[in-house]
Amino acid sequence: MPRPITIAFDVMGSDHGPSEVVKGAARLTLESPGIHALLVGDGDEIRKALEEIRHSGERVSVHHAPRFITMEEKPSAALQEKPDASVAVAARLVREGEADAVVSAGNTGAGVLACARHFQLIPGVRRAALAAVYPTQQEHGEKHDPFSLILDVGATVDATPDDLVAFAVMGAQYSKVISKNPDPKVALLSNGVEPQKGPPRVVEAHQKLAALKGIRFSGNVEGVDIPKGRADVIVTDGFVGNVCLKMLEGVAETVVDIARYAYKSKLRWRAGLAMLSSGIKRLKSITDWEQYGGAPVLGFDQLFIKAHGRSKSKAIANAGKVAAKAVSANLAAAIREGLPR
Amino acid sequence: MPRPITIAFDVMGSDHGPSEVVKGAARLTLESPGIHALLVGDGDEIRKALEEIRHSGERVSVHHAPRFITMEEKPSAALQEKPDASVAVAARLVREGEADAVVSAGNTGAGVLACARHFQLIPGVRRAALAAVYPTQQEHGEKHDPFSLILDVGATVDATPDDLVAFAVMGAQYSKVISKNPDPKVALLSNGVEPQKGPPRVVEAHQKLAALKGIRFSGNVEGVDIPKGRADVIVTDGFVGNVCLKMLEGVAETVVDIARYAYKSKLRWRAGLAMLSSGIKRLKSITDWEQYGGAPVLGFDQLFIKAHGRSKSKAIANAGKVAAKAVSANLAAAIREGLPR
């Protein structure tokens, strides 16, 4: 039997507390016999949580980390002050070979910084990217995934043309491995489809991507194409990507608020919404964080998956599966090979 | 009686053809006795359209322009080739004092370039901005407007910190004049609320805005705050603003597509949607282009209002009213006075 893939779970600092992350990891050990879960965080809390739930005892181990970083803390100051915080310890354990990848539902910035501190950038990559998987109208790849990937969404706010090219390669390789999409369509986000549209950095990135071999570059897409899912991978800098991703969240919240208002305000509307409930469930399933594994930090020789802070056990387990898949496919090597020479 | 305000309507090049724009201008002459409509475009077509509809004969005049620019044409090449295109003639007539402002539902880029060619930048403004009015969850100002302003959405893709400061002043003054919002809340779009978040140009703009007198700068907002309407005016560069605005359009179209799918696919869903129809109408009224006047090009000594290409007569008439309001309030002077010295 091959050695199992070990995923280090940072169990601290998520919205639902350590027990939910432990539950997700425990679930994973039952569902995926090839995966070992290394739970990093408050040892007592982890053991207490484990006692209450079913799990595979031989595929779970615990590593105590005395402190952790909250959602509200400033990442760099917090990591400086607490080098023994669970997220940093999890990353260090991966670097030291105790685990193969990290899953965390805690502070995003702290996760990215922990990677920068403990992992190595892939040769040819100058800056890392946080990639977000988001729901679209159109389906993608062999799995008919209703998701696209957009990167960077916040790790590198000031990306150069070469950074954008590297992001394109990272996104394409991740999509190949995770979405079983053998030839993903990669597009560059701009304010028009013509190659000369956009600020100089985007125009230059377009030229470089058009000349790059081994990638299916479909040219520029516009904002309107993001929710439609007209590309499998959308490339942009961390500033624009972050604004876009948060706007999608804001729109989703606004729609839910309006529906809630409609539900409360009129009996007739209420009846209508009730009749629509299976339709709404369908819509909800598309916008459901639980279904997909989270946001990978790409560009390092090791993988870090940032699950949403609100993740329940199912999302945590999925993040672990995605991380294991990337490890067994050797994502870092695939990215290295796809970069321009 | 004071001299009426004359609005030059570029009647050519919109999605619904000249007759719809003529209809809107005609409607305006009946509704607003203080406004004169100068219709610029194919003289024969305009006169034919006028014959078929009610209008105030003494408040309408026609200026023939032999050619026009289509939606599909590249703005700069088209304007080079056709200096006598209707949109350019309309702008020239304003510069020459024949009219006070332009309304066009044609090619946006051609409109911005026609302004650059025929108008003067306000002293202290280095680059123009296209501002978009968009629907939000929250209401704004004394009129309880469900709209916010975002600028720039495409005129200046590579804005400097000083450009962003000028955009903030333009947006605030426009909001004061048009939305009757005496002290609009102005925010800077970034990837975090902290002043040090964002690429260098955004961080520097934040510092300058925080130090600027005469403006209520509420700091940074994130993408999630755009649809919520947490600020009256949101400032960003033309690249990011364009992506955001088009993404909002894309999301709206996606929701409509899903609703259409739901309507077709199941009798039960269909009945539910029918019961919800007044709720959906309410939602639609929020996202309805017709209700608001269009996107002003700001930064020039003269005003140009770009109505949406799909505008029907009501939207055209509203754009004319908004333009007249800005002229009578002397928007350009208000912007000049608000700029940093």
Inter-residue contact A137 to A227 (CB < 8 Å): yes
Question: What's the confidence (pLDDT) of residue B124?
Answer: 94
- Does A289 have pLDDT greater than 50? no
Cβ–Cβ of A227/B247 closer than 8 Å? yes
Distance from CA of B27 to the nearest CA of A (A): 33
- Considering A215-224, A244-253, A309-318, B251-260, the range whose residues carry the highest mean pLDDT is A215-224
What letter does residue A213 receive in the DSSP assignment? T
Which residues of chain B lie closer than 8 angstroms to A225, CB-CB?
Answer: 250
- Does A254 have pLDDT greater than 80? no
Question: What's the confidence (pLDDT) of residue B227?
Answer: 81
Q: How many other CB atoms are found less than 10 A from the CB of residue B267? A: 8
- Does B146 have pLDDT greater than 70? no
User: Of A54 and B2, which is predicted with more confidence?
Assistant: A54
- Does B262 have pLDDT greater than 80? no
- Does B266 have pLDDT greater than 90? no
H or E element at residue A274: helix A267-275
Which of B245, B251, B262 has its CB closest to that of A279?
B262
Question: What's the confidence (pLDDT) of residue A176?
Answer: 92
What's the distance, CA A110 to chain centroid? 14
Question: What's the confidence (pLDDT) of residue A187?
Answer: 98
Mean pLDDT, chain A, integer: 88
Question: What's the confidence (pLDDT) of residue A30?
Answer: 95
Question: What's the confidence (pLDDT) of residue A230?
Answer: 87
**Which of A106-115, B34-43, B198-207, B264-273 shows the lowest per-residue confidence on average (mean pLDDT)?**
B264-273
* Cα A288 to Cα A286: distance, rounded to the nearest angstrom: 6
User: Prior bond to B152 cis, omega within 30?
Assistant: yes
Q: Which of A152, A222, A275, A280 to mutate to test the interface with B (most CBs of B within 10 A)?
A: A275
Q: State percent of chain B over pLDDT 90.
A: 71
Chain B from 263 to 292: CB within 8 A of any A CB: 266, 268-269, 271-276, 278-279, 283
- Does B91 have pLDDT greater than 80? yes
Chain A from 57 to 116: CB within 8 A of any B CB: none
pLDDT band at A265 (very low <50, low <70, confident <90, very high): low
Helix (H/G/I), strand (E/B), else coil: B196: coil
Query: What number is the ipTM of this complex?
Result: 0.82
Question: What's the confidence (pLDDT) of residue A293?
Answer: 60
pLDDT band at B128 (very low <50, low <70, confident <90, very high): very high
A254 touching chain B per CB within 8 A: yes
Which residues of chain B lie closer than 8 angstroms to A273, CB-CB?
Answer: 272, 276
B211 touching chain A per CB within 8 A: no
In one letter, which amino acid is B209?
Answer: L
Cβ–Cβ of A248/B251 closer than 8 Å? yes
> Average pLDDT in the B278-288 region?
51
Q: Which of B226, B254, B257 to mutate to test the interface with A (most CBs of A within 10 A)?
A: B254
Which residues of chain B lie closer than 8 angstroms to A240, CB-CB?
Answer: 239-240, 243
Q: Which residues, at least 6 apart from B220, have a Cβ–Cβ distance to it below 8 Å?
A: B187, B188, B189, B190, B192, B193, B194, B195, B197, B198, B206
Cβ–Cβ of A273/B272 closer than 8 Å? yes
> Average pLDDT in the A321-327 region?
94
Question: What's the confidence (pLDDT) of residue A16?
Answer: 92
Chain B residue with CA closest to A194: the answer is B74
Taken in order A241, A244, A246, A249, is the CA torsion positive or negative? negative
* Cα B83 to Cα B336: distance, rounded to the nearest angstrom: 29
> Average pLDDT in the B244-251 region?
81
Question: What's the confidence (pLDDT) of residue B133?
Answer: 85
DSSP notation for B7-38: EEEE-SSSTT-HHHHHHHHHHHHHH-TTEEEE
Which of A137, A275, A283 has its CB closest to that of B272?
A275
Question: What's the confidence (pLDDT) of residue B50?
Answer: 95
> Average pLDDT in the B146-157 region?
88
Question: What's the confidence (pLDDT) of residue A272?
Answer: 61
> Average pLDDT in the A243-250 region?
84
Question: What's the confidence (pLDDT) of residue A256?
Answer: 60
Chain B residue with CA closest to A109: the answer is B192
- Does A330 have pLDDT greater than 90? yes
Q: Which residues, at least 6 apart from B45, have a Cβ–Cβ distance to it below 8 Å?
A: B11, B18, B19
> Average pLDDT in the B18-41 region?
96
For tokens 């975090």, name the residue.
B192
- Does B178 have pLDDT greater than 80? yes
pTM: 0.86
- Does B286 have pLDDT greater than 50? no
- Does A287 have pLDDT greater than 50? no
Cβ–Cβ of B258/A225 closer than 8 Å? no
- Per-residue pLDDT reduced to its tens digit, B291-301: 556 889 999 99
Chain A from 178 to 197: CB within 8 A of any B CB: 189-191, 197
Q: How many other CB atoms are found less than 10 A from the CB of residue B315? A: 23
- Per-residue pLDDT reduced to its tens digit, A157-211: 999 999 999 999 999 999 999 888 889 999 999 999 999 999 999 999 999 999 9
> Average pLDDT in the B111-118 region?
96
Q: Give chain B's length.
A: 341
Distance from CA of A288 to the nearest CA of B (A): 16
* Cα A84 to Cα A105: distance, rounded to the nearest angstrom: 17
- Does B53 have pLDDT greater than 70? yes
Chain A residue with CA closest to B138: the answer is A254
Which of A251, A274, A276 has its CB closest to that of B227?
A251
- Does A283 have pLDDT greater than 60? no
Question: What's the confidence (pLDDT) of residue A292?
Answer: 55
B245 touching chain A per CB within 8 A: yes
- Does A11 have pLDDT greater than 80? yes
Which of B157, B228, B244 has its CB closest to that of A198?
B157
**Domains with residue ranges and CATH for chain B:** 1-125+299-341 (3.40.718.10), 133-289 (3.40.718.10)
Cβ–Cβ of B279/A266 closer than 8 Å? yes
Cβ–Cβ of A275/B255 closer than 8 Å? no
